[in-house]
Amino acid sequence: MRIATITNWAYSATVCLTIASGIVMLMASNADNTERQAVEQRQTFDQLTDEVEADAWSLSDLARLYVVAKDPEVLKSYRLKETSLNKIEFRLSKLKDNGASGEELALLHEGLQIVDALQDEQKVAFDSVERGDDKEAIALLYGKIYEQELDRAQERIDHFRQMLDTRARGAIVDATKASRTLRTLSEVMVGLTALLFLFVLGFILKRRVLQPVVRLSDVVHRLASQDYAVETPNFNQIDEIGDMAQAIRIFRENGLARQQLERERDANWAIRELLARMTQRLQGCESFADVINVAELFAPNIAPGVAGRLYILDREPWQMRCVAQWLSPQGSSEPFHPDECWAVRRGQSHPPVQGEPDIICYHLPDSCQEHTLCIPLIAQGEAIGLLSFQNINDDITYSRGYLELMAEALGLALANQRLRDALLEKALYDPLTGLRNRHHLEDIMGTQMSQAIRNKKPISCLMIDIDHFKGINDRFGHEVGDGVIKSVASIIQRVVRDGGMAFRYGGEEFLVLLPNMDEEAANRCATVIFNGVREMPLRFGGVDVGHVDVSIGVASFPEHVQSDNLLRAADVALYRAKELGRSRIVNFGMLEAG
């Protein structure tokens, strides 16, 4: 606002104050009128009630005098006084609603009713005199009841005057107070009118010239030192100072934009370093758990504030299973079918362009579908997992490429881990039966024996051989022989699943390690396996093989052997079982006893 405009506003304010001061003076005068009206009303009511009171007593005295003396002049005076009293009552009836309260009017009305009732009594006494019944007239006007009614009328009128006096005094006090207040306000307004010009002069020189110049000078000094965090003063007035403030504001905004670009550049470098470090850590992972830990650690730092989940594609059953999540993403982490995610369907990030209308992935909750990003983990041309991000907004759109790089690194790490696990499984597990193979036995045997010695717990070993297996192969063929081996392996695996470990030792031989089982428990386990194999029906491709038997050798530590020859003792027991005719269980302890 220009200085000329301020001056015009000050002139307008002066005029308004002057008018307001005049209005307040009129209001003060009106308060004085109210005070005068209250005094006049009080005087009017006092005068009329005094006349009513005096006339009531005069009528009573004239009536009593007439019933005693029967003087016609007295009756004539009574009639004149009665007419005067009626006129006064009529005047009171016209004045009774002139500011009087309901309680005051009730007292006045009751007093006038009593006076009217006394007049009726007086007329009854006059009728008695005309009938010649002087005693009744005298008893009526000089009786106790008549005196009480006369006193009651006096009391009602006096009470009315007291209440009138109280109200009149209150009205006078209120009117006086209002008048003083309004006069004081009027004087204050007059003083404000006088001070306004001094205020305008000080405002123009100090507030509109000196202070803005000082503030702008401080801002310019801080901007010159590249302190763009300083807040520029908001001078929107259309004058020279406003033009300077606008120029400084534009300069600051340009500086802030340059700083933002520098911060984004630094953030990009930091994210690139994190991606490089994550890639290095993924290369050193030796299990799926390692990959998941790396993802949970680096993902929140590569995209701060972005919640997400990591899914792995399971083939049996065919589903996406959540294995990691960070920053509390919305919705359920339950598995879902891969077709519910458009990113997995398309083999590309979805949606391709953030913020534009597109098909929403069905596995996401409705509350966050507009701010999500799904990136498939691709390896060798097929999806093996999924990264699902939430809270994607315009501020982190620039980092979308980094999220895709992170998905690429995780996909490669998961694919390598799957390949590693597949190779490890082929190296350690028998492909026909799914049992651990002999190479796996050496490491596990050393570990289990060490734990048994350290914890002073028993451990047992079963050596199992399918009886007459060569005859089965020669008679029915190798395919049926493989089926027999798989069937026997399934029986062994089912029996020892919760309490031991089963191995395919070679050909038709199997080995079972039973940690924490002594000789008696091992014999029970061997018996269950022996009976399970014998009772198992064997039929392959329409060929009825019948039933097969197994020979089992049992050895236990520390009952039978030392730690370094448990397998040998079980093998000796198995050999003895074959010598005795096969299809039996032989315990190494039986050999020692023999």
Catalytic residues: 508
DSSP class of residue 436 equals B
DSSP class of residue 464 equals E
Left if phi > 0, otherwise alpha if psi is -120 to 50, otherwise beta: which for 336? beta
**DSSP labels, 514-580:** EET--HHHHHHHHHHHHHHHHT--EEETTEEEE---EEEEEEEETTT--TTSHHHHHHHHHHHHHHT
CA distances from 77 to 62, 82, 122, 551 (A): 7, 9, 14, 157
Kindly report the length of the chain: 594
Closest Cα partner for 363 from 391, 384, 397, 386?
386
Alpha-helical segments (H) within 142-239: 144-202, 211-224
Distance CA 381, CA 169 (A): 103
Q: Under a CB-based contact definition with an 8 Å cutoff, are residues 171 and 38 in contact?
A: yes
The H or E element spanning position 325 is strand 318-326
How far from chain centre, in Å, is Cα 522?
A: 60
Distance CA 497, CA 510 (A): 14
Distance CA 147, CA 60 (A): 10
In a 3-state reduction of DSSP, which class is residue 211? helix
